[in-house]
Amino acid sequence: MNPIRAIRGTRDILPPSSTVWNQVETVAREVFRRYNYQEIRTPVFEETGLFARGVGAETDIVSKEMYTFEDRDGGSLTLRPENTASVIRAYIEHRLDQQPGLQKLYYMGPMFRRERPQKGRYRQFYQIGAEAIGAGSPAVDAEVIEMVCEILTRCGVEGWKLFVNSVGCPECRPVYVAALRERLAGVAAGMCRDCQRRAETNPLRVLDCKVPEDQPVIDALPSIHDHLCQTCRGHFDSVKTYLADRSLAFEVRPRMVRGLDYYMRTTFEIVHEGALGSQNSVLGGGRYDGLAESLGSRVAAPGIGFSIGEDRLVMTVEETTAAARHTIDVYVAPMGEAAFRHCALVARDLRNAGLVVELAPAGKLKKAMETANKLGARKTLLVGDNEITAGAYTLKDMASGEQTTVDRTGLAEAVRN
């Protein structure tokens, strides 16, 4: 009988990689705390209409990539492909607009898209994200971008690049889309099949095409910056000023539109060359004024957010930093049954002191030392009948081979040192 394996596009996150995942999440939580963001946890499945209305029916996510199924009551449910729409749904449902001040929320968890699996891209993938809801100020945009850059810096990632753009608003974007559609009418036939479809249904999506052969055509298309209204132009200029005030280096990318229909005005993306190869986008985000109203809110709720591809970020951290590995502080090796019962209490005391302890079964000294070496323990505590009688233990430093005699009261400190 063949063994059952993980479904294509999913994976098990095993030690020591899981240690790096925990480190990244700990860093993110601390940065969110300092910027006064609080955690929100939404269901992993929602009504399909939430994503069709929120993300956009003509996006690749909704049209080709969602995991959708019929519930027993006949309703259509979808595993969340992203979380901004879910957060806004919760914001509306629980009337968070009635709370004082800007609502600053963050989340961590799995998302689901049926994409072609490749390096850094999975069908069950993980995102760390945040949303600032309730203000349309460009100052909020700059602070959100500053915060996500701080997360990368504190994770030890270097050499990343920040790209920013403005995709206009409902007043000026239709003018640009019309110009784009007119230009595409003469060139779309020579582009990929997806772009031929997008040229008719949603011309902005053409700018998000990643097919190399289409890039020269896309580069020659009109720039949205030539069509921004005065309000959008002023908003974007302020964002750039506030980023410069923070000494954050950035590059303006006029054709960066991101893959979701709800974005307006500010969009941004951070890329990193290295472990990700061609899939070098670590995170992206943008402003989504109007999304709440499209999902049924009676109150205007302008907002901006981002999502970090945690799978990709962890790969980058593992490649570019000396990520700390899980380390056993002390391997406790009892010599005999009586010593084992005694060592169980010693191990408990050491764990209560905050140390990582592995208690071996009662056995022979040679095997215990071999196991301690394989596990990478910093020190090994040797305990037999003589040590119990004397009230003093032999503590061996596994790197230097030095052995010292330590009593029980000073054991935790000796292990730390």
Residue listed under structure tokens 């199924």: 69
Q: Which residues are 407's β-sheet partners? A: 392
> Class for domain 330-416, per CATH?
alpha beta
Residues 341 and 259: their CA atoms lie apart, in Å, by 60
**Single-letter amino acid code for the residue at 188:** A
Q: Which residues contact 12 (CB under 8 A, 6 or more apart)?
A: 6
Decide if 165 contacts 254 (C-beta within 8 A).
yes
Q: What is the pLDDT of residue 206?
A: 83
pLDDT digits (tens, 9 = 90+) for 224-254: 888 899 999 999 999 999 999 999 999 998 8
Residue listed under structure tokens 């954050």: 248
Backbone angles phi, psi at 364, to 5 degrees: -90, 150
Q: What is the pLDDT along the chain (417 residues), one digit of tens a residue?
A: 889 998 898 899 898 888 899 999 999 999 999 999 999 999 999 999 888 887 776 666 777 788 898 989 889 999 999 999 999 999 999 999 888 889 999 999 999 998 877 777 889 999 999 999 999 999 999 999 999 999 999 998 888 999 999 989 988 888 888 888 888 887 878 788 878 888 877 888 788 777 888 888 888 888 888 889 999 999 999 999 999 999 999 999 888 876 566 888 999 999 987 655 545 788 999 999 988 888 888 888 999 999 999 999 998 888 776 555 678 899 999 988 888 888 899 899 999 999 999 998 877 888 888 898 888 899 999 988 888 888 888 899 888 889 999 888 888 898 888
Q: What is the pLDDT of residue 277?
A: 53
Q: What is the CATH number of domain 17-166+247-320?
A: 3.30.930.10
Q: What is the pLDDT of residue 246?
A: 95
Nearest CA-CA partner of 87 in 115, 54, 60, 59:
54
Residues 333 and 368: their CA atoms lie apart, in Å, by 6
Domain ranges of the chain: 17-166+247-320, 330-416
Six-digit token pair at 264?
């307006």
Decide if 91 contacts 97 (C-beta within 8 A).
yes
Q: What is the pLDDT of residue 278?
A: 47
Q: Which residues are 397's β-sheet partners? A: 379
Q: Is 317 exposed, middle or buried (0-12, 13-18, 19+ CB in 10 A)?
A: buried
- What's the pTM? 0.84
Neighbouring C-alpha atoms within 13 Å toward the C-beta of 143: 19
Residue listed under structure tokens 């963050």: 106
Secondary structure class of 191 (helix, strand, coil): coil
Q: What is the pLDDT of residue 54?
A: 72
